Amino acid sequence: MGEMDIGNTRRDAAAVAGVGHTEYSRNSGVTTLTLAVRAIQAALADAGLSRRDVDGVACHRVGDSADPALVAQTLGVRDLRFVRDVFGGGSSCIAPLDAAASAVAAGQARCVVVWRALNGRSGVRMAGAASNPALSADAQYWLPYRHISAPQQFAMFARMYRHKYGVTAEDLGRVAIAQRAHAALNPRAMMRQPITMDDYLGSRWIAEPLRLLDCCLESDAAVALVVTSAARARDLRRTPVTITATAFGGGNQLASNHHSDPTVPGAAIMAPRLYAAAGLGPDDIDLAELYDAFTPLVPLQLEAYGFCEPGEAAHMIADGATRLGGALPVNTHGGHLSEGYVHGLNHVAEAVLQLRHECGERQVPGAEVALSTAQPGVYSGLTGAVILKRAA
């Protein structure tokens, strides 16, 4: 059985039947266990299901969240048939969804809840003083130079990308401005005040050439999804959104992969497999929720996933193609830059809501197919993505 056949066996067999969020805040005042359970309960209610229906759990985390077995016990799951606990941050955000879809398609479980919960602002902050740099093998090369925080690392990538393609500060500013405009239409978003180019250029340096408005938010929040079979989902409360295809790939780490070009991420190598598994191409995608820990990752992925040629994404963004009303609306909820940072799972949730046509003022008219991505493989050994489809 070839790669494409493997992808086809699971195409559209499982569906996201429910979506749940907690409040996005800077200080939740509760544990990540509480956040996880609240988001899961909201997702189950959205689907018209209860805790008694759950027989599988799946999450991703970096030592900053609740054990999925504990979450299952807290939910009162008595016959737990499936557990997936994925270590990893944004690069791994598609993995628990993929695992849930596979378990449902194989008959291993009937209803799997997928979540990400973190106190990313009031608790352990990513790559802060309280984090564990030993988790990365490359840390031995970074620490002597105090080059450990995510903004420092991605600033190096931003310099390479800008130099290679002549990308300007204003090009990156347009990413932040467009996503803030989308967030202004999103009641959940942490940052809803529109920004101008002057606001962007006037924001303080974090790690040159990255400014404050180039960087994602730090958030306390949880997001959850309910995954069940496509057949069962049709009998539930909401319009089903099927999981058409997922794919995974590798990535670059500058210290250890010095022979590779970080401006050609793992996502670019992986994307053809994703489209082949889905039986679709870039022209079939109605909207894209692209992992945006930092602004340069948005144009990088527009190129990697074939929406434009390498080096052309800045022009695509300047022409308005990625705004609501454009040819390919991107990060319609405001993304990590303006809605909140829930490590990629909030992007999947937004894609589902868009395909259910429930996004109000920010709705992409007639949306049928969406792409949601993980971190594209910059400073990470992994990447992933999912294509979702509104059920007929």
> What contacts 296, CB < 8 A, 6 or more positions away?
154, 157, 158, 161, 162, 167, 172, 214
pLDDT band at residue 251, thresholds of 50, 70 and 90? Answer: confident
Assign domain 3-123+217-390 to its CATH architecture.
3-Layer(aba) Sandwich (3.40)
pLDDT band at residue 325, thresholds of 50, 70 and 90? Answer: very high
Distance CA 151, CA 154 (A): 5
pLDDT of residue 387: 98
pLDDT in tens, 22-81: 999 999 999 999 999 999 999 999 999 999 999 999 999 998 999 999 999 999 999 999
Catalytic residue among 24, 200, 275, 341: 341
> What contacts 124, CB < 8 A, 6 or more positions away?
63, 64, 130, 131
pLDDT band at residue 261, thresholds of 50, 70 and 90? Answer: confident
Residue 36's φ and ψ, nearest 5 degrees, are -60, -50
Give this prediction's pTM: 0.95
Catalytic residue among 275, 291, 305, 379: 291
pLDDT band at residue 283, thresholds of 50, 70 and 90? Answer: very high
pLDDT in tens, 339-390: 999 999 999 999 999 999 999 999 999 999 999 999 999 888 899 999 999 9
CB atoms within 10 A of CB 381: 18
By DSSP bridging, strand 82-87 and strand 56-61 are: parallel
Distance CA 154, CA 140 (A): 17
* 379 part of the active site: no
pLDDT of residue 1: 38
* pLDDT at residue 255 tops 70: no
* pLDDT at residue 137 tops 80: no
Long-range Cβ pairs for the range 102-107 (8 Å, 24+): 102/10, 102/14, 103/56, 103/58, 104/13, 104/14, 104/56, 104/227, 104/228, 104/229, 105/9, 105/10, 105/13, 105/14, 105/229
Calculate the average pLDDT of the chain.
93
Termini Cα distance of the chain: 28
| Mean pLDDT to the nearest integer, 135-144 | 72
What is each CA distance from 253 to 190, 263, 287, in whole angstroms? Answer: 31, 11, 29
CA 338, 342, 345, 349 torsion-angle sign = negative
pLDDT of residue 183: 98
- CA-closest candidate to residue 302, choices 379, 382, 376, 381: 376
CA 1, 388, 392, 58 torsion-angle sign = positive
Q: Which two tokens stand for residue 275?
A: 């489209």
pLDDT band at residue 149, thresholds of 50, 70 and 90? Answer: confident
Position of tokens 């970096």? 62
pLDDT band at residue 130, thresholds of 50, 70 and 90? Answer: very low
pLDDT band at residue 259, thresholds of 50, 70 and 90? Answer: low
> What contacts 392, CB < 8 A, 6 or more positions away?
none
pLDDT in tens, 68-121: 999 999 999 999 999 999 998 899 999 999 999 999 999 999 999 999 999 999
* pLDDT at residue 262 tops 90: no
* 341 part of the active site: yes
pLDDT of residue 146: 79
